[in-house]
Amino acid sequence: MKIAFLPLLLLTAPAIAQEHDHHAGHAMPSMEARPAHPTPPQADEGHGAHHGMGHSMESAPASAPPIPADHAADGIFEPDAMKRARALLAHENGGMAHSMILIDQLEAQMGKGRDGYRWAGEAWFGGDTDRLTIKTEGEGSRGRRLDSAEVQALWSHALDPWFNLQAGIRQDIRPTPARSYAVIGIEGLAPYWFKVEAAAFLSDKGDLFARVEASHDMRLTQRLILTPRAELKFAGQGKVLREAELGARLHYMIEPRFTPYVGVEWRGVYGTEAAEMRAEGDHPRAVRLVTGMRFWF
């Protein structure tokens, strides 16, 4: 059994000896060993200390860093190249020119004693802030000449994301004699997505007219959209009601760009125009059935 423990004793002996030497080294350090961080020599307590302080106070302070610019990337890349990149970014995010043609109403009307047609649409070209807008609307009776037709050329300027200020000219083709007007108005989306439009017209004869229109798209299903609509026209310096239209149209959206519709509309004409309609055999107040289409491209 002693023979069996002999190899184990021979293997552990060097480790025991090394551990003993390690502790021994710590226990009896050499007298010649030097500290790892020797104490620096004492400066001269007079001239040396005052000389160092004077040098520190006489040195000029470091210059302040440059004021940050609006475009930090100009400090890394070529400023001219970054200016061109910013202009391109602004152009692609609102600075590009667009165009659209919208025919809001192209319809046939059927009513008591009168069948006719009507159109209303607009086209615009420009950016998100400023646009050139062309509007047109009119109506006529079957078998007769146009009852009314007008064209407007307007500059449209965005006041905010919801409303546009519009100003320009209007030319009436019918009724005769033709009239020209200066136009100023506003249009946009009111809360709860009501589309509103109001405009004042000053004729070349000094007469003032006004028009107010409002509509709202009510989505009944993914394809059926009910659109109530009201329009009021004023004359006599914009104070006397001349015409009123109240109605609703039910659109079927075949695709977003094309929606045929059917609807009903009540129209009332007042003042001298009502007397003229009676003289021609028309009814100044009547209910009409309408059918037509709305499309844009």
Tell me which residue of 138, 139, 142 sits closest to 113, measured CA to CA: 142
Range of the domain at 130: 98-296
Per-residue confidence (pLDDT) for residue 145, from 0 to 100: 77
The strand pairing partners of 45, in sequence order, are none
Per-residue confidence (pLDDT) for residue 8, from 0 to 100: 47
Helix (H) or strand (E) holding 240: strand 240-252
User: Are 125 and 131 a contacting pair, CB within 8 Å?
Assistant: yes
The CA distance from 104 to 122, in Å, is: 8
Question: Is residue 32 scored above 90 in pLDDT?
Answer: no
Question: Is residue 142 scored above 70 in pLDDT?
Answer: yes
Q: How confident is the model at residue 150 (pLDDT cuts 50, 70, 90)?
A: very high
The answer to whether position 192 is within a domain reads: yes
Q: How confident is the model at residue 177 (pLDDT cuts 50, 70, 90)?
A: confident
The CA distance from 49 to 130, in Å, is: 74
Per-residue confidence (pLDDT) for residue 76, from 0 to 100: 87
The larger pLDDT score, comparing residue 194 to residue 32, is at 194
The answer to whether position 25 is within a domain reads: no
The answer to whether position 11 is within a domain reads: no
Per-residue confidence (pLDDT) for residue 187, from 0 to 100: 97
The answer to whether position 270 is within a domain reads: yes
The answer to whether position 190 is within a domain reads: yes
The answer to whether position 174 is within a domain reads: yes
Region 270-295 average pLDDT? 88
The answer to whether position 90 is within a domain reads: no
Per-residue confidence (pLDDT) for residue 45, from 0 to 100: 47
Percent pLDDT > 90 in the chain is: 55
The larger pLDDT score, comparing residue 4 to residue 78, is at 78
Residue 72: CB partners within 8 Å, gap ≥ 6? none
Per residue in 182-214, pLDDT (tens digit) is 999 999 999 999 999 999 999 999 999 999 999
Per-residue confidence (pLDDT) for residue 188, from 0 to 100: 97
Question: Is residue 56 scored above 70 in pLDDT?
Answer: no
The CA distance from 206 to 237, in Å, is: 9
Per residue in 225-235, pLDDT (tens digit) is 999 999 999 99
Residue 108: CB partners within 8 Å, gap ≥ 6? 115, 116, 117, 290, 291, 292
The larger pLDDT score, comparing residue 269 to residue 55, is at 269
Per residue in 79-121, pLDDT (tens digit) is 899 999 998 888 788 778 889 999 999 999 998 767 899 999 9
Query: Residue 247: which CATH number?
Result: 2.40.160.40
The answer to whether position 274 is within a domain reads: yes
Per-residue confidence (pLDDT) for residue 57, from 0 to 100: 53
Question: Is residue 133 scored above 90 in pLDDT?
Answer: yes
Q: How confident is the model at residue 59 (pLDDT cuts 50, 70, 90)?
A: low
Q: How confident is the model at residue 284 (pLDDT cuts 50, 70, 90)?
A: confident
Region 127-148 average pLDDT? 90
What phi, psi does 73 have (nearest 5°)? Answer: -65, -20
- Write down the pTM of the prediction: 0.70
Q: Structural domain tally of the chain?
A: 1
Q: How confident is the model at residue 58 (pLDDT cuts 50, 70, 90)?
A: low
